[in-house]
Chain A
Amino acid sequence: MDNHTILEMQSITKEFPGVKALDNVSLSVTAGEIHAICGENGAGKSTLMKVLSGLYPYGDYQGQIVFQGKEMQFRDIRSSEAAGIVIIHQELALIPELSIAENIFLGNEPTRFGVIDWDKVNLSAVELLARVGLSEDPTTKIKDIGVGKQQLVEIAKALSKSVKLLILDEPTAALNEADSQHLLDLMSGLRSKGISCIMISHKLNEIEQIADSITIIRDGKAIETLHIKNDGVDEDRIIRGMVGRSLESRFPDHTPKIGETFFEVRNWTVGHPNVADRLVCKNSSFKVRRGEIVGFAGLMGAGRTELARSVFGRSYGNFKSGQIFKDGKEVTYKSVPQAIEAGLAYVTEDRKSLGLNLLDDIKTTTVSANLKKITHNFVVDNDEEYRVAEEYRKSLRTKTPSVNEGVAKLSGGNQQKVVLSKWMFTDPDLLILDEPTRGIDVGAKYEIYGIIQKLADQGKGVIVISSELPELLGLSDRIYTIFEGSITGEVTREQASQESLMKLMTASRKSA
């Protein structure tokens, strides 16, 4: 390796039971550069950074990490920080009730005779804050400053640990335009002082603006490393690298039988549940026809889930304005029971924390959204429950010894089938499926696609929200793209390509 290389990750392979998350990935970062890592959700970017920061300790993976010419064997985050590698996660690790200075020195407090030297803490904090261009009183509590400033405090914290390599995971995801620009400027400032950065980002325009080189990761493999200036890289080039693969026949054959429009949402606007002025959905309008599978494409955090959940009985955020029309009539669903009653169903992207009661068994889960149907004279009919669950087990081919099994024991694909049967039992007109195949193996995916198509053929409308573009292209009849809470485009299956969707989803400046 040459003198300019600060970090060399060589042939990193990381396996989880049954899966290779990283397959022989190598990454090389030059001293004093900003190195971007790009890839779709789940491509393996975060896993790679977890290996680098010691979250997956040495021995847990194969391959070598050479940092500043020495081979490193990190046992935990502390040991990687001691070497000068600091990671800043997308969800900031700050304690809201503590002051800026306390947060900066948390776990690393300067002491005199075993007592924290508060004067020193606050003085050093002022210095560090100056370096990141933040003029705040170091005794201000974290909860009293905005997300943008919190991000800067995180960087100041990293600087306090004499960082040599800073890893930023989606640093601007939660920031507005001005804060993002400030952060990017700060990063170039750090670069000029010789601190290297690794930056994971979906915002390709930012990468093009600031990064020196890019490594693209796809399906757990490092596809290529590009130099922005030498290789003349632009957004199109990056997108091609990220999605560069062909569609195989991973979808059952299907001829859609599309009817008339029966569900329409107009100018839907929703506020963030906690942050007063932030909007999670901005003026979104969309419609669904009977028998149609409509795709919602957008990257994580774009507002897809927020839009879906707020339509589903306002179960997310603060409803501001908008109208829903069903079968030509204007309707309002103010609660989830109302939405279910009206024939809506929402399958969440987060099966474990929002979709299932993991203490329940399969049969209880199957009937849980429509207990009414099997209740006679206030008594839940257990035989009917068993019969219904058994019926869905057979028709969806859920693999389980019996419907008396706990749902926690099932694999992801079978859990998803149970969740689908729960909603099919409510006999909905419109199903909203949020990442219906997340964490599910290929075979089960195929089956789930088949179920979705069958539901559409019964004349139901289906909305599929997905981060996986091939999935949307293979399944949907029409696709809306969402970026930062707004619907940025609507394309038919014939018009759509991964490149054109990715452009709309990242709101590329040169939009298609």
Chain B
Amino acid sequence: MNSLKRMFGGNTRQFGMIFALIALILFFQWQTGGNTLTPTNVINLFNGNAYILILAIGMVLVIIAGHIDLSVGSVAAFAGVVVAISIRDWGIPWYLGIVLGLVLGALIGAWQGFWVAYVGIPAFIVTLAGMLLFRGANQYVGESNTIPVPEAFQFIGAGYLPEVGPVTGYNNLTVLLGLLAVGFFVYQEFSNRRRTAQIGSEVQPLWISVAKLVLLAAAILYVTSLFATGRPGTSFPIPGLILAVLVIIFAFISNKTVVGRHVYAVGGNRHAAELSGVQSKRVNFLVMMNMSILAALAGMIFVGRSTASGPFDGVGWELDAIAAVFIGGAAVTGGVGTVIGSVIGGLVMAVLNNGLQLMGIGADMTQIIKGLVLLIAVAFDVYNKSQGKPSIIGLLTRNFGGGRNKPDAPSAPEENPAAREAVGTKQVL
């Protein structure tokens, strides 16, 4: 009985966040009379939010390292306008435009990273300045006009996987993608089981793995079928594809590479990290730079989707991205957070937005509800941690290569500095 409970508990924990998201989706599906899970709406949902989710990927690293970036909306807008102008006025091809945008993002990131890491100005200040600076630069360069981009460029923001191969009634590439995803998760689960067994730690019972995979596969295939059966000309959107690739890359970097480890180390305890030989300045520089590169990419995707760059692109994006990261289980004090958690946090916000809109609820109420959701999600997490219970939010990804979570509250006697002194006393006997 006990072990069953524990196994089931261990299992639900991983899915806690996803459960919340699914519950939300089902709620809206019911409330909107089935209008939520339609191909068109799901495709819109991804298209309309991919750039925020991309920002959330960069933002979670910044927040894990213990900083914040308020400038992402402005940086995105600035990169967007420069790329739009360079394509229109200098006549460079669209793909060079993208390269130019990414390089510009890297330069802006280096600029902000320099102030944060090497001069030691808090990121809040540096990026607040950046927010003003690059917003101004966007409007100066674009003369506060909208600047259209050619159709080829719009592909990255509004394109879909093309139709290839035999006519099946589905979009073949989308179906292929869905099957690949299922295959990937099955492979990962079983290779995880094998490795866990090899190194001799406890393996979950087989039926749990199977149940988990069946649920996951069903969800993926269902979403795939939605994407694959949209109105003609639509399928899995290109921004969604870019997002998926970025999630895989950054989940990998944050969890499996030295630099990823160092980001967690610097955010968790900077002094301890430095005394272990981590070059914290370089780490801070890199996360700030990476954020701006992703912001530039998000800006270009947005420009592609809206077919033109404008003076008010990206206003308020930083707040959406930050909210996504915190709903996704990151800690304000740094050191905690996962890439996948943040993307799911961003999806929660996106589904809320979308569902409330479909229900015909106005922007005023939508904002109130989103604000409350952010507050309650984090409060729930804080409460759970203070009770020594496992944190629900941000616990989903332990076996999916997503990253690490905060351990439970430390044991009481060690926490008390007086007790520590007292322990010292006793041993002098």
Interface centre among B201, B258, B335, B414 (most CB of A within 10 A): B414
Contacts of B269 in A (CB 8 A): 353-354, 356-359
Contacts of A387 in B (CB 8 A): 199
Q: Is the CB of B407 within 8 A of A402?
A: no
CA distance A16 to B424 in the complex (A): 12
Interface residues of B in 368-416 (CB under 8 A from A): 404, 406-414, 416
Interface size, B (range): 35 or more
The answer, among B195, B257, B273, B407, for a CB contact under 8 Å with A406, is: B407
The answer, among B199, B200, B265, B423, for a CB contact under 8 Å with A19, is: B423
Closest residue of B by beta carbon distance from A40: B428
CA distance A41 to B427 in the complex (A): 12
Q: Is the CB of A346 within 8 A of B275?
A: yes
Q: With A43-B428, A354-B272 as given contacts, are A440 and B423 in contact (CB-CB < 8 Å)? A: yes
A106 to chain B minimum Cβ distance, whole angstroms, is 25
A223 to chain B minimum Cβ distance, whole angstroms, is 12
The answer, among A18, A348, A410, A470, for a CB contact under 8 Å with B275, is: A348
Q: Is the CB of A17 within 8 A of B413?
A: yes
Interface centre among B404, B422, B423, B428 (most CB of A within 10 A): B428
Q: With A379-B256, A383-B198, A409-B410 as given contacts, are A368 and B423 in contact (CB-CB < 8 Å)? A: no
CA distance A46 to B420 in the complex (A): 13
Contacts of B276 in A (CB 8 A): 336, 340, 368-369, 422
Interface size, A (range): 35 or more
Contacts of A368 in B (CB 8 A): 261, 265, 273, 276
Q: Is the CB of A337 within 8 A of B427?
A: no
A164 to chain B minimum Cβ distance, whole angstroms, is 26
CA distance A84 to B405 in the complex (A): 49
Q: Is the CB of B408 within 8 A of A409?
A: yes
Question: Is B57 in the interface zone, CB < 8 Å from A?
Answer: no
* Interface SS majority for chain B: helix
Q: Is the CB of A16 within 8 A of B423?
A: yes
CA distance A340 to B276 in the complex (A): 8
Q: Is the CB of B408 within 8 A of A219?
A: no
Q: Is the CB of A219 within 8 A of B426?
A: yes
Q: Is the CB of A16 within 8 A of B201?
A: no
Contacts of A492 in B (CB 8 A): none
Closest residue of A by beta carbon distance from B257: A378
Q: With A368-B276, A371-B258 as given contacts, are A390 and B335 in contact (CB-CB < 8 Å)? A: no
Interface centre among B198, B409, B413, B421 (most CB of A within 10 A): B421
B385 to chain A minimum Cβ distance, whole angstroms, is 12
Question: Is A330 in the interface zone, CB < 8 Å from B?
Answer: no
Q: Is the CB of A44 within 8 A of B425?
A: yes
Chain A 11-29 against B: per-residue CB contact (8 Å), 1 yes, 0 no? Answer: 0000011111100000000
Closest residue of B by beta carbon distance from A248: B429
Question: Is B279 in the interface zone, CB < 8 Å from A?
Answer: yes
Question: Is B419 in the interface zone, CB < 8 Å from A?
Answer: yes
CA distance A379 to B423 in the complex (A): 41
Q: Is the CB of A16 within 8 A of B422?
A: yes
Q: Is the CB of B258 within 8 A of A375?
A: yes
CA distance A457 to B426 in the complex (A): 30
Q: Is the CB of B268 within 8 A of A359?
A: yes
Q: Is the CB of B261 within 8 A of A380?
A: yes
Question: Is A282 in the interface zone, CB < 8 Å from B?
Answer: no
Contacts of A468 in B (CB 8 A): 428
Contacts of B261 in A (CB 8 A): 364, 368, 371, 380
Contacts of A348 in B (CB 8 A): 272, 275
CA distance A441 to B428 in the complex (A): 10
Q: Is the CB of A355 within 8 A of B272?
A: yes
A448 to chain B minimum Cβ distance, whole angstroms, is 11
Question: Is B349 in the interface zone, CB < 8 Å from A?
Answer: no
Question: Is B206 in the interface zone, CB < 8 Å from A?
Answer: no
Interface residues of B in 86-131 (CB under 8 A from A): none
CA distance A442 to B425 in the complex (A): 11
CA distance A369 to B273 in the complex (A): 8
Question: Is B336 in the interface zone, CB < 8 Å from A?
Answer: yes
A430 to chain B minimum Cβ distance, whole angstroms, is 15
Question: Is A411 in the interface zone, CB < 8 Å from B?
Answer: yes
Q: Is the CB of A47 within 8 A of B421?
A: yes
Q: With A16-B413, A354-B271, A355-B272 as given contacts, are A340 and B423 in contact (CB-CB < 8 Å)? A: no
Question: Is B167 in the interface zone, CB < 8 Å from A?
Answer: no
Contacts of A422 in B (CB 8 A): 276
Question: Is A220 in the interface zone, CB < 8 Å from B?
Answer: yes
Contacts of A17 in B (CB 8 A): 412-413, 416, 419
Q: Is the CB of A359 within 8 A of B335?
A: yes
**What are the 10 closest A-B residue pairs judged by CB atoms, nearest first?**
A406-B407, A357-B268, A408-B410, A21-B422, A42-B424, A16-B419, A16-B422, A357-B269, A369-B276, A439-B420
- Residues of A that sit less than 8 Å from B by CB: 16-21, 40-44, 46-47, 50, 56, 218-220, 312, 315, 335-337, 339-340, 346, 348, 353-361, 364, 368-369, 371-372, 375, 378-380, 382-383, 386-387, 390, 402, 404-412, 415, 422, 437-442, 445, 468, 470
Q: Other than the known A219-B425, A337-B277, what 17 A-B pairs have Cβ atoms closer than 8 Å? A: A17-B413, A43-B425, A43-B428, A47-B421, A335-B279, A353-B271, A354-B272, A357-B269, A359-B268, A360-B268, A372-B258, A383-B199, A386-B199, A404-B201, A409-B410, A437-B427, A442-B427
Task: List, sorted by A's number, 27 A–B pairs whose CB atoms are closer than 8 Å.
Answer: A16-B423, A20-B426, A42-B425, A42-B428, A43-B428, A56-B418, A219-B428, A336-B277, A354-B269, A357-B264, A359-B264, A364-B261, A368-B265, A368-B273, A369-B277, A372-B258, A380-B257, A383-B199, A409-B411, A410-B414, A411-B411, A437-B427, A438-B424, A439-B420, A440-B423, A440-B427, A441-B427
